[in-house]
Structure 1
């Protein structure tokens, strides 16, 4: 099984998380999942069964096919494939509740124009959560241009899964230095794809970071 890809794509007023992974030669599929707000918006599955006749099987060829599929999905997002609300009522409801409020969309637009100092979260070290462990979360909230800390920002840590609804693990606020530190208990290994989603919100805007939970 080959290491997959995880990319956050900001488009319009939403952040799409694109995750692509190899299911292994026993199930020669390449699966790409698209998340918005911790819920699966869409999925795409390719195959490399045609490559199994080659021996020895070259991992580089599979990796290239994964890369192409991952980039293709990201290109679809940026080209506006998911700009309109889906016809499926359930997906439409998810879209409504996952869209950021108008004031946040305006802040992000102004940030892109270079006129507004908005909130961003920073990690001092990579997040590597593992199933069945007590995991320490340490983030800093600051303004992206001035780099000033953002005290009193609301922080929510959720467990998101491809097989069930997201659950909130803990909430809190950043301290006077814009820092937030806590520990969360992660569940034992379970089917599907799981990740930690850390969201931070203040009058200066919102930001989020997610990390896949591994065995």
Structure 2
């Protein structure tokens, strides 16, 4: 069993706690839970049977998969997907799968009162009671989260409008920060530098809005010789991305 991850994320004035852990070689599951004040709002389970060879797990691949799943869920919360989870929880209650609110301790996953068990061929799968049981074979169930796993591997930075930049212009620069095209990151730090060989650098700082977009009004220095460029940097959750665009002579 490898160490798990616990992350607190604030979105729209609420703190969400995301816990992701390896359930061990007997279960062969990566389990993520999303809590608010001790209540489980969502769960995500992923089998890693495919990483097993002769009873041993590829530990490096398991660590990578655990990290990826944790980032996926954190990114979904930052993108404002919580209401989707709440609606699913209410629907499960209406269907008789846990109508009342369940409370429990965050540490260690579910408490005894928060568990019901679905039997598979070789594992017992713990299922958060407010949500429908997952497939018996332990495969991933993610109807509440349709982001592809590859979309959260790296922080991505892009211009909303590609254009040529020229000396002496005043431009409005809009950039988007996200984990892939489907998951924007609000409150990401964005730094824009205008660098040149014939003038002093200028630096602008801002943060992205709730759509993961940062907009700045820039005045590009006038120059007729040498080289110049705009360097855009973004950072969030310990990840960093950058873009460079050339500035043409006037």
TM-score by length of 1: 0.43
TM-score by length of 2: 0.37
